[in-house]
Structure 1
Amino acid sequence: MKEDVTSRTRSFPSPGDSPSRRVFTVSELTGLVRASLEADFSEVWLEGEISNLRAPGSGHLYCTLKDDSSQMRAVIFRSTALRLRFGLEDGLHVVARGRVTVYEPRGEYQVVLEYVEPKGRGAQQVAFEQLKTRLAAEGLFDLDRKRPLPVFPRTVGIVTSLSGAAVRDMMTVLHRRCPVLRIIIAPVSVQGEDSAEQITSAIRSLNALGRVDVMIVGRGGGSSEDLWSFNDERVVRAIAASPIPVVSAVGHETDVTLADFVADLRSPTPSAAAEAVAPVLSEVVDRLGELTARSRLAMSRRCEADRQQLDLIVTRIANVRYRVLEDIQQVDGAVAHMRRAVQGLLRQRWDKAHSFKHELIGNSPDAQVRQGLTLVPQLGSRLVQVMRYGLNRRTQSAQACLVNLHTLSPLGILDRGYSILESVSSHRVIRDACEVAVGQEVLARLAKGQLRCVVANVMPDGSKAGSAPL
Structure 2
Amino acid sequence: MLKNEIVLSVGQLNRQVGQLLEGHFSQIWVKGEVSNFTQAASGHWYFTIKDERASVRAVMFRGRASAVGFVPKAGERFEFRASVTLYEARGDYQLQVETLRRAGLGDLHEAFLQLKEKLAAEGLFDTDRKRPIPAIPRTVGVITSLAAAALRDVLSALERRAPQVHIIIYPAPVQGAAAAGQLAEALNAAIQRNEVDTLLLVRGGGSLEDLWSFNDETLARAIAASPIPIICGVGHETDFTIADFVADIRAPTPTAAAELCCPPRQTLLTHVAAAVGSLTAQQLRLIERASLRLDRALAMLVSPQQRLAQQSERLQVLKNRLARAAGAPYERRAASLDALQSRLMRAAPQSARLRRELQHNVLRLSAAAPRQLAQQGARLSAAFLTLQALSPAKILGRGYAIVRDAQGEVVKNALDLSKGDRLNLELAQGSTDVEVLRASSLL
TM-score by length of 1: 0.41
Structure with bigger gyration radius: 1
